[in-house]
Amino acid sequence: MGKKKIILASASPRRSELMKMAGYEFEVRVSHKEETYTGTAPEEIVKELSLLKAEDVADQTEMKDTVIIGADTIVSYEGNILGKPESKEDAFRMIQSFQGQKHQVYTGVAILSFDANGAKTVINEAVKTDVYVNPMTDEEIWAYIERDNVMDKAGAYGIQSGFAVHIAKIDGDYFNVVGLPVSFLYEALKGRI
């Protein structure tokens, strides 16, 4: 059996770093399709969006001996989805809402595996991690926002950045919070590449 080509359907530098850390050789192809969804629960939304990205890249690719991985991450607090902030004030509002509390990070992973004949197998799952944030003062929140690039991060923070000092604990996969549940991906790709 020949080794399958792996394509990461994501522009996220963090996901690329995690794929490299896990030992995968891959290329990046970014989906340019508008991100629309019909689901209302965070786990439904990330599954839809990760599949949309993977399918869009598959439409632009020769689909033989190839694995395409799409991913999408959402931060949720009390059922509200916290996307990427639109301004520093928006980032402050997000962080202030969940400081001292528990929130959830969901990453959807879609794996499209094409065999030598182009037959497709689909895995589409959502992985959840609970994140507990210590109480923060307004000054601590503003200091973090001014120090870190929060505008490209769901929930306005990166667990792998300076925000780490405010994390009390997590229940679940740390790398899921960074943007890709590496352990889930490894197990799902076993025997497929």
Catalytic residue among 56, 72, 115, 173: 72
Establish whether 72 is a catalytic residue: yes
Beta strands in 13-101 (DSSP E): 27-28, 66-77, 80-82
pTM score, whole prediction:
0.91
The model's pLDDT over 90-131, given as tens digits with 9 standing for 90+, comes to 999 999 999 999 999 999 999 999 999 999 999 999 999 999
Distance CA 57, CA 44 (A): 20
The model's pLDDT over 29-46, given as tens digits with 9 standing for 90+, comes to 999 888 888 888 999 999
Is residue 52 over pLDDT 60? yes
Helix (H) or strand (E) holding 73: strand 66-77
1 pLDDT tier (thresholds 50, 70, 90): very low
Q: What is the pLDDT of residue 138?
A: 98
Distance CA 168, CA 41 (A): 26
Is residue 62 over pLDDT 50? yes
Distance CA 55, CA 7 (A): 12
Helix (H) or strand (E) holding 167: strand 167-171
